[in-house]
Structure 1
Amino acid sequence: MKNLILSMLLMGATFVNAQDRYSKGMEKAFELWQNQKMVEASNLFERIATAEPDKWLPYYYVSQINTIISFGEKNEEKLSKQLEKAKEFIDVAKAISPNNPEILIQEALINTAWIAFDGATYGMTLSQKNAQLYQKAMELAPNNPRVILSKAEWDMGSAKYFGKDTTPYCKDVERALELFATFKSETPFYPTWGEERAKEVLANCGK
């Protein structure tokens, strides 16, 4: 009995230490990201993902960073490597956490980076995929402000492309901004981005 209790205590201590390492690693990765050390942050998130194969968030952030740095990239070889890595990691995240609206948005963002690089090549096929991704995300999480904002921005971009008025989507951005004030997740390191972007979009809405 004594040995059993000791074993349980040791297992508990090991779990706590593992969680502590995970938390400290994630905090360090975010610190690097905040200091604009994008490659270093991505590499650390990747190491955490390798050590924590059952957690979707490190994979998500590797994908997100590699996507963000791809916008504006002119070198096709470099862009391809970054976006292929982003897709590889978001696919793993999706396998860990299926039907996750945050992951669907990130997947759509990868497609958007390809479209921004070469709309003539990727516009038609990936635009249709994005419409489906945003629709599914809305069905899964109609009150997630990032989902509402991302879909609204996508709809605005599509409207501009076809010479249509973007004003109807301003109300969606307003709603997203309202929801940012109250949206909470109990999952540590859950995505929180979007509020500042919503303010920027709303400030220029309908102009």
Structure 2
Amino acid sequence: MKHLRTLSLTLFALLTALVAGAQSPQYQEAMAKQVALLDEGSSYNPQTMLEISNTFERIAATEQNQWLPYYYAAYAQVMSAFMQENDKDKMDALADKADMNIGKAEALQPDNDEIACIKSLIATVRISVDPPSRGQQYGPESGAQLVKAKQLNPENPRVYLLEGQALYYTPEQFGGDKVKAKEVLEQALQKFTAFKPASNIAPHWGEARAKQLLAEMN
């Protein structure tokens, strides 16, 4: 009897996990629509990014067991923040929101390289608000998240994109290196060529940005 009880509890736990991880057609459709918007260049303006992030937050409120809506909400908020450099308060507020959403994603999906990439970007937003006073605090945090992401998945092209981007924009006296940046970004493009996202809603952003940065360098 004890063996049967243990087996029943194990099967129940497995069934619960499968149900929790199940993705409804409505969820897939809603996510695919918003992710497709992120793939459109016309979406890359502060207001549209905020609208997309709000939609992802609504999806997350309905599908609280899925990490991707929280992830994409954070990503869109970060992208919006980078486009609002003239409003430092808004940048910080968006970084706060992104931090909250990526924390929820991480609670559902710990030790995830894509989440580490977003955490690195959030730290970079913090630096951008006031580089002289914040660089020493958030620079190591941003770098540490990329190190973690590369350890978790050395084939993730977004890791190399963000690493190259950081090398490109960081002043040389603080560790920047444009020659090294070009090498890393070229490596990122190689990784993008080989990269195959797990699904149409899995993270796959960044290739266009890598090409843009290399074009600037050339």
TM range (shorter): 0.7 to 0.9
Deviation at 1:77, TM superposition (A): 3.3
Deviations 1:132-187 (A, max 9, x none): 11111111111111111111222333353548642123222112101211211224
Taking the aligned partners of 1:88 and 1:170, their CA distance within structure 2 comes to 33
Change in Cα spacing, 1:164 to 1:31, as seen in structure 2 (3 Å) is closer
Poorly superposed stretches of 4+, deviation over 6 Å: none
Q: Does 1:26 align with 2:31?
A: yes
The number of residues matched between the two structures is 192
Percent identity over paired residues: 34
**Residue 117 of structure 1 aligns with which residue?**
129
Q: Is the alpha carbon distance of 1:129 and 1:19 closer, same or farther for their aligned partners in structure 2, counting shifts above 3 Å?
A: same
Q: Counterparts of 2:175 and 2:118 in 1: how far apart (Å)?
A: 26
User: Following TM superposition, by how much is the alpha carbon of 1:18 offset from its aligned partner in structure 2, in angstroms?
Assistant: 5.9
DSSP-derived class of the 1:204 partner:
helix
How many angstroms apart in 1 are the aligned matches of 2:35 and 2:200? Answer: 13
Letter in 2 for 1:86: A
Distance 1:81 1:161, change over 3 A: same
TM-score, with length taken from structure 2: 0.78
Specify the alignment match of 2:55 in structure 1. Answer: 44
Q: Which runs of 5+ in 2 are unaligned?
A: 1-18
Match of 1:149 among 161, 169, 173: 161
Matched, 1:102 2:114: yes
Displacement, 1:113?
Answer: 1.1
Structure 1 gaps of 5+ residues are 1-13
Give me the TM-score of the superposition, normalised by structure 1: 0.82
Matches of 1:156 and 1:79, distance apart in 2? 21
